[in-house]
Amino acid sequence: MDKKILLIWLVMLLWLTGCAVNPVTGKNELALVPESTEIGLGTKQYLPSRQMQGGDYNTAPQVVAYVKRVGQRLAAVSDRKLPYEFNVINDSTPNAWALPGGKIVINRGLLVELESEAELAAVLAHEIVHAAARHGAKGMERGVLLQGAILAAGMASQNSEYAQMAVGAAGIGAQLITKKYSRGAESEADFYGMKYMSRAGYDPRAAVKLQQTFVRLSKGGDSNWLNGLFASHPPSQERVNANRITAANLPQGGELGRERYLKVIAPLLRDREAYEAFDQGRKALSDGGTDRALRFANKALKMQPREALFHSLRGDVRLKQQRYRDSIINYNRALQHNSDYFHYYLQRGLARLKLHETAQGEADLKKSIEFLPTAPAMNALGNLSLNGGDITTAKKYFSAAAGSNSAAGKAANNSLIRLDLPDNPHKYLQMRLGRDKSNYLLVQINNRTRQTVADVSFIVQFRDAQGTIRTTQLQLPGRLALQQSKTIATGIGPFGDLKNVQGKVVRARVIE
């Protein structure tokens, strides 16, 4: 059957078996991702996604409790009942996001830009619609449908400075929260989110004012705004006008809750300057200015000594200055205020290893990956296993870390190749077959690693003129440098074609 016809029949079958009514819009649509998968994925990714975005805000617990109450008030009027959860991320970027299954967050940095409970409701209702209307699930489905040929073959049955460090399944969460929604999905979230606001007793006109605020702030060209909350649908007068029309067609009145909101978030507003100092300190540290970063950390701590992030910034400075004992003291203080954030365990573990406190360092690293598996932790654990003679475990840790493009991920990848290439050279040295002008066999070996290798042997298996299967082992002369290819003439042949010829690299060693 023609592949195009097969794909058409496949799509028609999926439409017939996966067609469902969207609970928010009432439209018929393809639904390939079951609700149980949505909920399971969101539940699994909620913790690591919050961790890589800055961790949970806990300095003023009443703020978090308040956001949760407002969120559940809106969730109660949603068209789709899901196990909704709400939380506040300890990050200054003005952002909010939703995972499939109703797992929603709003950043500390967005809360301080809002002016009323109704505006908070507008943000949360918008994210509730993304979950309720299956916008995240639809994005997953589009990815599946784009691989129609793979489906036909039987496959049917992304702030953060820390995101690039995440490895394994945590990377899925990074992709989900950075995936851009379609323009239509964002418009639906605006429209139905205002309906939810009205049903919950809030004044939907707050969503109009909210969009006006966003338009004003975005005109400043702040990339934090444009790359965060508005990555897929930037604020515009068009959105303001659309919200104004929606509000005019909804029941008038409703709560604004301005005084209530400002009273609850007063701690955030009071600490705003402290967090600005912290953010400046993080930037200074990333630029190599340890003394400047320390001054910002001290300034932040003077204004708010109960914020764990500020203590950890001091620790990060001391760690970079190789003052390991002092850094551990700072991480201990951070953990006294917040024992549920990976970064403090990771950094303390790395500092302890520098002081040869191996058992304590290993325990910290393992604790950190319970919150968020990261390349630095996995790479360090791999080195500990390697030093202990446990090659098998070391390979597992290095393999996990190698999934990251960070410095630690690259280091782990190099370590993994050094350990694994002698046992599985075919995984790293690509072999291609060709023919010369006389139809004799040519073999090209391509070194896809960042290591120089030598003593490369390969086998060639072919069927001779009498139909007998023959195997020949040959040696590649000299060394093969990183990303280098070499082609050799084997003298085997001639061949009319290469359909009965196979080859495989069977031996190689890394040049240290």
Per-residue pLDDT, 505: 96
Q: What is the DSSP letter of 29?
A: E
CA-closest candidate to residue 170, choices 346, 46, 72, 4: 46
Has residue 10 got a pLDDT over 80? no
Has residue 253 got a pLDDT over 70? yes
Per-residue pLDDT, 215: 85
Has residue 230 got a pLDDT over 90? no
**Mean pLDDT of the 401-426 span:** 92
Omega cis (within 30) before 494: yes
CA-closest candidate to residue 30, choices 17, 14, 19, 16: 19
**Element of type H or E holding 421:** none
Q: What is the DSSP letter of 480?
A: B
Per-residue pLDDT, 299: 98
Percentage with pLDDT > 70 across the chain: 86
Domains and CATH numbers, the chain: 3-260 (no CATH), 271-420 (1.25.40.10), 425-510 (2.60.40)
Of the two residues 121 and 95, the one the predictor is more confident about is 121
Q: What is the pLDDT of the chain when averaged over all its residues?
A: 88
Per-residue pLDDT, 172: 66
Q: Is 115 a catalytic residue?
A: no
Angle, to 10 degrees, between the axis of helix 308-320 and the axis of helix 290-303? 160
Per-residue pLDDT, 177: 63
Per-residue pLDDT, 334: 98
pLDDT digits (tens, 9 = 90+) for 413-423: 999 999 999 99
Per-residue pLDDT, 447: 94
CB atoms closer than 10 angstroms to residue 433: 16
Poorest-pLDDT segment among 137-146, 347-356, 382-391, 461-470:
137-146
Of the two residues 213 and 217, the one the predictor is more confident about is 213
Q: pLDDT grade, residue 150 (50/70/90)? A: very low
Q: Do residues 407 and 419 lie in contact, with contact meaning Cβ atoms separated by under 8 Å?
A: no
Longest CA pairwise span in the chain (Å): 92
- The rounded distance, in Å, linking the Cα atoms of 231 and 158 is 13
**Mean pLDDT of the 296-325 span:** 98
Q: Do residues 224 and 159 lie in contact, with contact meaning Cβ atoms separated by under 8 Å?
A: no
pLDDT digits (tens, 9 = 90+) for 486-510: 999 999 989 989 988 999 999 999 9
Of the two residues 268 and 234, the one the predictor is more confident about is 268
pLDDT digits (tens, 9 = 90+) for 14-58: 444 456 788 888 888 777 778 888 899 899 999 999 999 999 999
Contacts of 493 (CB under 8 A, 6+ apart): 435, 438, 439, 440, 441
- The rounded distance, in Å, linking the Cα atoms of 70 and 386 is 50
Contacts of 467 (CB under 8 A, 6+ apart): none
pLDDT digits (tens, 9 = 90+) for 99-109: 999 999 999 99
- Listed as own residue / partner, the contacts of 350-356 with beta carbons closer than 8 Å and 24 or more positions apart are 350/319, 350/376, 350/380, 351/315, 351/319, 351/324, 351/327, 352/324, 352/328, 353/380, 353/384, 354/322, 354/324, 355/324, 355/325, 355/328
Q: Choose, from 85, 117, 119, 127, the residue flagged as catalytic.
A: 127
- The rounded distance, in Å, linking the Cα atoms of 86 and 91 is 15
